[in-house]
Amino acid sequence: MDQLKKINDDLYQAAILLDSIPSKIQSDPSLENRENILLIGKALSHIFELQNNIYKIRPDLKNNNQQ
């Protein structure tokens, strides 16, 4: 497996995991919801930015993980 595909696949899995966290944050009263959910959003934004950089080099990977 080439390196860019592996990185893209790992980023996709990381995004799925991060996407599941806000509901867990909301269910824990000890966490500040708004601030922490915004941090998750920023992390996802960085993942998408990196994926976009990969797609500029390898456009064939763009729809690779979409179902």
Q: Where are the domains of the chain?
A: 3-61
Instruction: Single out the residue of 19, 13, 8 nearest to residue 63, CA to CA.
Output: 8
What tokens were used for 62? 């763009």
The reported pTM is 0.84
Region at 57 (left for phi over 0; alpha for psi -120 to 50; beta for the rest): alpha
What DSSP state is assigned to residue 59?
Answer: G
Please report, in tens digits, the pLDDT of each residue of the chain (67 residues total): 699 999 999 999 999 999 999 999 999 888 888 999 999 999 999 999 999 999 999 999 998 765 4
* Helix or strand run (H / E) with residue 13: helix 3-19
State the residue for tokens 């994926």: 51
